[in-house]
């Protein structure tokens, strides 16, 4: 059993998928988000989409960093995480504008004061204001903030995003075909719309990242940050403190900041890509939960997917792997490992997309391809060797 499973979490969410398997899959079963007919107006040319997600256990990292340093500004990053994890899923079905967002914040009032709530709520609006300058309009409808100390130990930051969208502007992944190339868009670095280096971690696998990297000191000092029923062998087993620094380029960045890098949104990029290349974009995948294996859930036919030109692994993932001892098979299933968005398209369009991405400060390249196959499979190749997944 992997460390991830021993901590009571699953990258593949097998039990969740089993629980929802009898539900309606929507109009387009291969689309990245569930899409329904426009029930609100009854217009056959439009669809309704609603999506829920959040910052996950990354909020516990913010709690630790805030307690250790007193820096309340880290909570604005958690606000961005909750938004981006919703928004970037919706980007993958083609939705880039006029979205509605409602937040859900559950806190333990004995540990989370009002100043933290203010930082999260104000951070949400500031993120929306920034996106507006790139033509992405998100309307903040408020939400629910509840004091539920009997339910949560610290704080949970989530949200729901919804949109009404024209049916002829959807990306449903049904056009993915043999011969497509896969363009990967880097998760790490510094996009022109980011204020500082982004580690690329996003908001997936943070339970592992936290326990694998941080040292046992945090178990004794902050017992509210983990499930007490867990074995001591999987709780805070790393070598680092939040304030230890890692040299990246010319900068010494605290470990806590690397783990807390706000989830990069690809919204400014995807809006431009869809404007310029909509007809030639066959599929879009947000490599979130499930990492580099995520794409296999949305293929319209049994294809062999080969990713043999992956990005150099960003330092934060090497930090996690070296602390945990996890093998590359698990790492690539839990984390994005270098790119969190990928597009399926033809080679000519791929080169144009790479140019657009580069102009926004996001490294991009063709990372792989799609081939015909009798049964679906995924092959990852890189400096780490070779990892195969059968389906």
Residue 334's pLDDT band (cuts 50, 70, 90): very high
**pLDDT, tens digit, 9 for 90 and up, residues 101-152:** 999 999 999 999 999 999 999 999 999 999 999 999 999 999 999 999 999 9
Dist CA 10 CA 23 (whole Å) = 21
What's the rounded mean pLDDT across residues 175-204? 97
pLDDT of residue 26: 87
Q: In the chain, what percentage of residues exceed pLDDT 90?
A: 92
Quick one: pLDDT at residue 2? 62
Please check the confidence at residue 167 and state whether its pLDDT lies above 60.
yes
Q: Rounded CA gap, 226 and 65, in Å? A: 15
Looking at residue 92, its pLDDT comes to: 98
Q: Given pLDDT bands bounded at 50, 70 and 90, which one contains residue 7?
A: low
Average pLDDT score over residue span 329-347: 97
Please check the confidence at residue 173 and state whether its pLDDT lies above 80. Answer: yes
Separation of alpha carbons 15 and 255, rounded Å: 32
Tell me the mean pLDDT in the region 355-378: 98
Provide the 10 A C-beta neighbour count for residue 247: 9
Strand partners, 46: 166
- Mean pLDDT, all residues of the chain: 94
CA proximity to 285, closest of 139, 193, 187, 171: 171
Q: For the segment 303-314, what is each residue's pLDDT rounded down to a tens digit? A: 999 999 999 999
* 156 φ/ψ sector (left φ>0, alpha ψ -120 to 50, else beta): beta
Mean predicted confidence (pLDDT) in 334-338: 96
Q: C-alpha angle with apex 69: 66 to 70, nearest 5 degrees?
A: 60
Residue-level pLDDT at 25: 78
- Give the model confidence (pLDDT) of 206-264 as tens digits: 999 999 999 999 999 999 999 999 999 999 999 999 999 999 999 999 999 999 999 99
CB count within 10 Å of CB 80 equals 23
* Statement: residue 90 has pLDDT above 90: yes
Is the model's pLDDT at 96 over the cut of 70?
yes
Cα separation values, 34 from 26, 60, 92, 162, Å: 5, 29, 11, 11
* CA 68 to each of CA 8, 45, 73, 243: distance values in angstroms, whole numbers, following the listed order: 26, 53, 13, 8
What the chain holds in terms of domains, given with CATH numbers, is 3-196+261-390 (3.30.1330.10)
Query: How many whole angstroms separate alpha carbon 32 and alpha carbon 41?
Result: 23
Reported as a single tens digit per residue, the pLDDT across 17-49 is 566 666 777 899 999 999 999 988 889 999 999
Widest Cα–Cα separation across the chain = 58
Higher confidence at residue 15 or residue 224?
224
- How many residues are recorded in the chain? 391
Over residues 359-388, the mean pLDDT reads 97
Report angle CA 270, 272, 275 to the nearest 5 degrees: 105
**Strand arrangement, sheet containing 283-286:** 283-286, 339-345, 181-186, 364-372, 303-307, 377-382, 385-390
Q: Which of 202, 185, 379, 370 is nearest to 293 (CA)?
A: 379
HEC-encoded secondary structure of the chain? CCHHHHCCCCCCCHHHHHHHCCCCCCCCCCCCCCCEECCCCCCCCEEEEEEEEECCCHHHHHHHHHHHHCCCCHHHHHHHHHHHHHHHHHHCCCCCCCEEEEEEEEECCCCCCHHHHHHHHHHHHHHHHHHHCCCCCEEEEEEEEEECCCCCCCEEEEEEEEEEEEHHHCCCCCCCCCCCEEEEEECCECCCCCCCCECCCCCCCHHHHHHHHECCHHHHHCHHHCCCCCCHHHCCCCCECCCCEEEECCEEEEHHHHHCCCCCCCHHHHHHHHHHHHHHCCEEEECCCCHHHHHHHCCCCCEEEEECCCCCCCHHHHHHHHHHCCCHHHHHHHCCCCEEEEEEECHHHHHHHHHHHHHCCCCEEEEEEEEECCCCEEEEEECCEEEEEEC
pLDDT at 9 over 80: no
Predicted pLDDT of residue 41: 87
pLDDT at 343 over 70: yes
Mean pLDDT of 275-283: 98
């Amino acid at each position: 059993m992997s460390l991830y499973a021993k901590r009571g979490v699953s990258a593949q969410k097998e039990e969740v998928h089993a629980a929802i398997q009898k539900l309606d899959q929507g109009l387009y079963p291969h689309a990245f988000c569930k899409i329904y007919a426009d029930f609100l107006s009854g217009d056959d040319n439009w669809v309704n989409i609603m999506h829920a997600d959040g910052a996950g256990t990354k909020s516990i990292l913010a709690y630790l960093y805030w307690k250790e340093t007193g820096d309340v500004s880290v909570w604005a990053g958690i606000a961005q995480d909750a938004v981006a994890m919703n928004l970037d899923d919706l980007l993958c079905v083609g939705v880039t504008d006029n979205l509605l967002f409602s937040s859900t914040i559950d806190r333990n009032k004995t540990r989370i004061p009002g100043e933290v709530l203010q930082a999260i709520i104000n951070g949400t609006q500031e993120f929306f204001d920034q996106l507006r300058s790139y033509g992405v309009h998100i309307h903040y409808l408020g939400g629910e903030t509840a004091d539920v100390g009997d339910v949560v130990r610290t704080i949970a930051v989530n949200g729901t995003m919804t949109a009404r969208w024209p049916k002829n502007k959807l990306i449903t992944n049904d056009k993915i075909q043999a011969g497509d190339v896969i363009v990967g868009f880097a998760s790490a670095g510094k996009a022109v719309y980011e204020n500082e280096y982004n580690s690329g971690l996003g908001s997936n696998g943070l339970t592992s990242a936290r326990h694998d990297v941080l040292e046992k000191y945090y178990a004794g000092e902050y017992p509210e940050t983990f499930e007490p029923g867990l074995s001591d062998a999987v709780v805070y087993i790393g070598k680092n403190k939040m304030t230890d620094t890692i040299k990246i380029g010319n900068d010494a960045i605290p470990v806590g900041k690397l783990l807390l890098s706000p989830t990069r949104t690809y919204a400014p990029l995807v809006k431009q890509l869809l404007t310029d290349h909509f007809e030639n974009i066959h599929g879009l995948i947000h490599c979130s939960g499930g990492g580099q294996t995520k794409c296999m859930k949305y293929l319209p036919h049994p294809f062999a997917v080969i990713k043999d030109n992956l990005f150099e692994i960003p330092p934060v993932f090497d930090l996690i792997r070296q602390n945990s001892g996890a093998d590359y098979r698990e790492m690539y299933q839990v984390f994005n490992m270098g790119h969190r968005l990928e597009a399926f398209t033809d080679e000519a369009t791929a080169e144009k997309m790479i140019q657009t991405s580069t102009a926004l400060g996001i490294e991009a390249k063709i990372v792989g391809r799609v081939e015909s196959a009798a049964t679906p499979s995924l092959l990852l190749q890189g400096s780490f060797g070779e990892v195969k997944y059968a389906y």
